[in-house]
């Protein structure tokens, strides 16, 4: 029986990474093997690409090609083999991030994005995507606490994240069966409770 593919999405600081392990544990509790991974990254090549694309200045096309290059390795070497073996995959960011950040944020033409998605085929489509939706100002506040130097994207201004958020919500309107919007404002506990409620039917 093929495994299920769950992705987490949202602007930087939405709080999504804080829930990856929780989701993986919920799946494990049902006796299912699960791996958690992330993009850009997930493989040696992907993690090397991550260092470049998060820190080197470049044009939006190069950004998009690098994200899809890393993704190609990730899908063929990690995600698809795990799903085929019946394991579930929890992935922190996937193709929706490219639409939101490169198209919504940096103006990549939609036709270029669609061509990259096509070139990646056959790629697994997530069975469920949890979009952690939050106001960019609140997300920026949450990032304040973080010690490490912000990457190229985290240094963007609020209007960039407004565009990214808008693109995510557009995706969610286009694919309501796949993308569950989680209101990520409020306390950690409140967000966790909303996630649990949205997760229940996916784990059933
Ligand atoms: N609901 C919340 N309220 C306040 N701070 C939060 C909340 N959720 C996460 N955080 C904190 O915000 C920061 C960003 O969280 P993280 O999960 O890394 O976000 P993302 O992966 O979406 O960028 C972390 O310091 C985390 O502890
Ligand atoms: C997967 C992906 C990520 N990104 C961006 C979103 C994030 O700002 C960054 C990945 O960082 P992120 O996943 O937020 O990791 P961390 O929480 O450790 O910073 O890359 C894209 O622009 N396009 C993509 O296709």
pLDDT of 165 reads 98
Measured between alpha carbons, how far is 94 from 26 in angstroms, rounded to an integer? 21
pLDDT tens-digit readout, 36-74: 999 999 999 999 999 999 999 999 999 999 999 999 999
Give the tokens for residue 139: 């997300």
ipTM for the whole complex:
0.97
The average pLDDT across 69-82 equals: 98
Mean pLDDT check: name the lowest of 35-39, 104-108, 139-143.
Answer: 139-143
Average of per-residue pLDDT values in the chain: 97
Measured between alpha carbons, how far is 137 from 146 in angstroms, rounded to an integer? 15
pLDDT tens-digit readout, 141-175: 998 877 888 899 999 999 999 999 999 999 999 99
Answer yes or no: is 17 a known binding residue. Answer: yes
The average pLDDT across 26-35 equals: 96
- Going from N- to C-terminal start, the domains of the chain cover 5-202
The average pLDDT across 25-44 equals: 97
Of ligand 2's listed atoms, the one at least distance from the Cα of 38 is: 13
**Which residue lies with its CA nearest to atom 14 of ligand 1?**
13
Pocket test for ligand 2, best of 7, 13, 40, 73 (most atoms within 8 A of CB): 40
pLDDT of 148 reads 83
Determine contact, residues 3/24, Cβ cutoff 8 Å. no
Whether residue 98 has its Cβ less than 6 Å from ligand 2: yes
Contacts with 169 (C-beta within 8 Å, 6 or more apart), sequence order: 131, 133, 181
pLDDT of 149 reads 87
3-state SS, 135-192, equals: CHHHHHHHHHCCCCCCCCCCCCCHHHHHHHHHHHHHHHHHCCCCEEEEECCCCHHHHH
Give the tokens for residue 117: 């998605």
Give the tokens for residue 181: 């919007």
Position 130 pLDDT exceeds 90: yes
State the maximum Cα–Cα separation within the chain, in Å, rounded to a whole number: 45
Position 102 pLDDT exceeds 90: yes
> pTM of the predicted model, to two decimals?
0.97
**Which residue lies with its CA nearest to atom 18 of ligand 2?**
17
Class for domain 5-202, per CATH? alpha beta
The average pLDDT across 10-28 equals: 96
């Amino acid at each position: 029986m093929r495994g299920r593919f769950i992705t987490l999405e949202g602007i930087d600081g939405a709080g999504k990474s804080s829930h990856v392990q929780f989701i993986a544990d919920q799946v494990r509790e049902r006796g299912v093997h699960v791996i958690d991974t992330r993009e850009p990254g997930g493989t040696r090549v992907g993690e090397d690409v991550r260092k470049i694309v998060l820190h080197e200045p470049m044009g939006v096309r190069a950004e998009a090609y690098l994200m899809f290059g890393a993704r190609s390795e990730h899908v063929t070497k990690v995600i698809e083999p795990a799903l085929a073996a019946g394991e579930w995959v929890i992935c922190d960011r996937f193709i929706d991030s490219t639409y939101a950040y490169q198209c919504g944020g940096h103006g990549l033409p939609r036709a270029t994005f669609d061509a990259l998605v096509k070139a990646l085929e056959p790629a697994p489509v997530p069975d469920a995507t949890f979009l952690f939706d939050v106001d960019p100002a609140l997300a920026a506040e949450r990032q304040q606490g973080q010690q490490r130097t912000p990457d190229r994207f985290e240094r963007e201004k609020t209007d960039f994240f407004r565009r990214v958020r808008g693109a995510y919500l557009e995706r969610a309107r286009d694919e309501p069966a796949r993308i569950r919007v989680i209101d990520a404002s409020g306390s950690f506990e409140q967000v966790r409770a909303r996630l649990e409620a949205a997760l229940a039917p996916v784990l059933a």
